[in-house]
A and B are shown apart, each in its own frame.
Chain A
Amino acid sequence: MKETASAGSVDNELVRRFVDGDRSAFEELVVRHQNRVYGFCLRLLGSPSLAEEAAQEVLVKVFKYLPRFRGESKFTTWLYRVTLNHCRNVQAYRARRHDKRHDSLDAETTDDEGSTRRRELADDRPDAEEDLLLAERLRMMKEELAKLDPIWKEILLLRDVEGQSYEEIGNALDLPPGTVKSRIHRARGELKTRLKRRIKT
């Protein structure tokens, strides 16, 4: 989910209004970013139900903690950081509880985004076959992405799905620039390797 510079200034203004007491500004922020937060949660956690819970909790946290946001980074960077921290906590909690909700991850995830793809492919364009190949490739990629170690998955989502810059990723993940560079490349390599292995099998 790419964003523009003007989008960042709109966010800044909404944040300012909210901190000044304008609750409607918070609603606007939620409307603007709920897809981003939910989508990020969905891809990190896998399950739509988990993602929805997490997204709601994240956005409530945003309400509570936004006054503490100092504006030293972009709002979206701060938002990703809040979301990441929350999802990490969810994953850690579920790991301790041996939560099995992830069992249906693939199916749910596929359904969730698959419906979008099916709509996209519903038309009868001449390049529909090509689209089908792309759809299959994306499906495999999504599944392999979901299986990646969180350390790689997080940074890949931020960089290649969410379109965050290296600097923003460093801020979101609290990593030095050199680590961001090497980790992005390594993460892509991990995913590429998994895809190749899958295609072979």
Chain B
Amino acid sequence: MTTEFAAQERLSEYLDGELSGDELTRMEAALDADPALRPELEELRALIGDLGSLPEVQAPAGLLGAVLASTADLAIGLDVGEAVAESGQFAAALPPPISTAANVAFWKTPWFGAVAAVLVLGVGVMFSMQGTSQPESSMAPPSPMAFEAAPDGSSVPSPSGALVDADAGDAVVDAGIGAEAEEAARERLADRLAGEREPEPEPLMEAATPRVMNGVTAPTEAPAPASRPVPRRSQPDSAVGPDGVFEAEWEGGEDSVAMEEELEAEAREPSIGSVGFAPEPPSGLAEDDAAALADDVTMADEPLEDYLDPAADVPSRSRRSESAPAATGAMRRGDSGGSGRVADSSVASKSGGGAPPSLDEVTFTGAGGDGTLRLAPGVTPEMAITALRGNGVTVDTISASSSTRVLQLTVAESGAANMSQVLRQHGALQYGRAPQASEGQVSLRLTMRSAAE
């Protein structure tokens, strides 16, 4: 029957309210006239209801940050990423100014270094710091992760236990070095350090992983003041969490390509001591030892400045690694580009593993490498930034009701920006999702999560 057939074909329109007037009248008449239509209508209605009741899917926590990072160096309507990628040099790789006022030359802004420094601090890298205040909080990482320094001695253990290469112009954390290799490397480094300079803090951690080359910061080769305590070998650097005024300096310059090549060579031939903290206990440690390490966090008790001599020059390939003058809290602009100045910045970091974080945490992962931050896929160090203050920079969170939160920076001179943008603007960090990372690609996910979650 033509009418019945047509009605059957238009049941969906009827249920969707797409019929009106004569069509609606005819449909209702058909439903009254044909008992077989009614059950079909109800089946369709149930199906539609079920489809509509499928739960809303939540986007992954890192999606927003990844998208913002991917677009950070894009001008609106114009992709400038390729030009940046072709530059080949660190300094040249700094993204070109973006047309919008709020994003002009992020990397030149004084607060940028502080922000980047905070992140690197979180993984155990201690930049050239000069504190005027005593560290108050400690960073108790979930587990130790090691960092490896450059073989030429340009890297030294930071107070946090991390090794900082003053030359690198950016931070490199490379995962995947075994505990045994690290142990050997650490001893080689200790020997070398003993012969080359004033006693340096020994590598603090036995752990598997990375190497850290300086990044956003600086000079660490300063001779230690006599009063500097000698870090214990078992001390997990991760005690990081300095909570004092610090000085951070970063530079990138014409040597960056050569440095990159060196870094790559080092990566192929791991031979340097390592310190730092790792997301997992070092493979060579028993659980008890690992627990002892986790408890042995002393950095918070030790003044940051004890580890750093602000007046010391760093020789060799880095004029960049000159330590900053006594101007506490100042980030100096270097002569090879890509540096900045931050005054009176105060950073407090902490992480899970010790006292439960009382504030939001930042979780980030990275892999691959253009010389900045390298973590093996799957390595997920965690840290929490509890405060970042200084020079007009404040850190807050946004989208507090959302599962995805991005650090929100309020910058006096440039307005709001988010951290992933900021770091990308540095030209050294590029963020994405770890699962997508491949060799040659740095990825990082920033995820804010509250301690209550």
Q: Which A residues fall within an 8 A CB radius of B? A: 1, 18-19, 21-24, 26-27, 30-31, 34-35, 37-39, 42-43, 48-49, 52-53, 55-56, 59-60, 63-64, 67, 112-113, 116-117, 120, 134, 137-138, 141-142, 145, 156, 159-161, 163, 166, 181-182, 184-185, 188, 191-192, 195
Contacts and interface: CB of A to CB of B under 8 A. Distances in A.
Nearest to B432: A56
B10 A141 contact: no
B286 interface: no
Interface in B186-222: none
Residues of B in contact with A, size category? 35 or more
A142 B54 CA distance: 8
A22 B417 CA distance: 11
A192 B51 contact: no
A26 B47 CA distance: 36
Q: Which of A21, A134, A163 has the most CB of B within 10 A?
A: A21
A1 B56 contact: yes
B226 interface: no
A138 B50 contact: yes
A99 to B, nearest CB: 15
A52 B435 CA distance: 10
B11 interface: yes
Interface stretch (B65-73, B264-272, B277-285, B303-311): B65-73
Contacts of B101: 21
Contact of A35 (B16, B56, B71, B102): B56
Give me the 4 closest cross-chain CB pairs, A-B, nearest first: A39-B57, A160-B51, A185-B12, A38-B59
A120 B55 contact: yes
12 contacts: A27-B68, A30-B63, A39-B57, A53-B433, A56-B67, A60-B74, A63-B76, A113-B55, A116-B55, A181-B10, A188-B12, A188-B44
B64 A35 contact: no
Contacts of A112: 57
Contact of A59 (B9, B67, B100): B67
B21 interface: no
B54 A56 contact: no
Contacts of A161: 51-52, 54
B420 to A, nearest CB: 10
B47 A191 contact: yes
A92 to B, nearest CB: 20
A145 B52 CA distance: 13
A37 B418 CA distance: 22
B70 A64 contact: no
Contacts of A159: 16
Nearest to A140: B50
A55 B59 contact: yes
A192 B63 contact: no
B81 to A, nearest CB: 10
Given A67-B76, A184-B12, A192-B47, A26 B55 contact: no
A63 B74 contact: yes
Contact of B51 (A1, A113, A116, A156): A156
B48 A19 contact: no
A52 B58 CA distance: 11
Interface of B: 9-13, 16, 18, 43-44, 47-48, 50-60, 63-64, 66-68, 70-71, 74, 76-77, 79, 98-103, 399, 402, 404, 406, 416, 418, 432-433, 435-436
A64 B13 CA distance: 37
Contacts of A145: 51
Contacts of A53: 433, 436
B57 A35 contact: yes
B64 A30 contact: yes
Nearest to B70: A60
Q: Which of B11, B12, B68, B436 has the most CB of A within 10 A?
A: B12
Contacts of A37: 59
Contacts of A60: 67, 70-71, 74
A37 B57 CA distance: 9
B39 to A, nearest CB: 12
B55 A22 contact: no
B408 to A, nearest CB: 10
Given A34-B64, A35-B57, A137-B50, 9 more contacts: A19-B76, A23-B100, A34-B59, A37-B59, A63-B74, A134-B50, A184-B12, A185-B13, A192-B47
A30 B98 CA distance: 20
Contact of B60 (A22, A26, A38, A63): A38
A137 B49 CA distance: 11
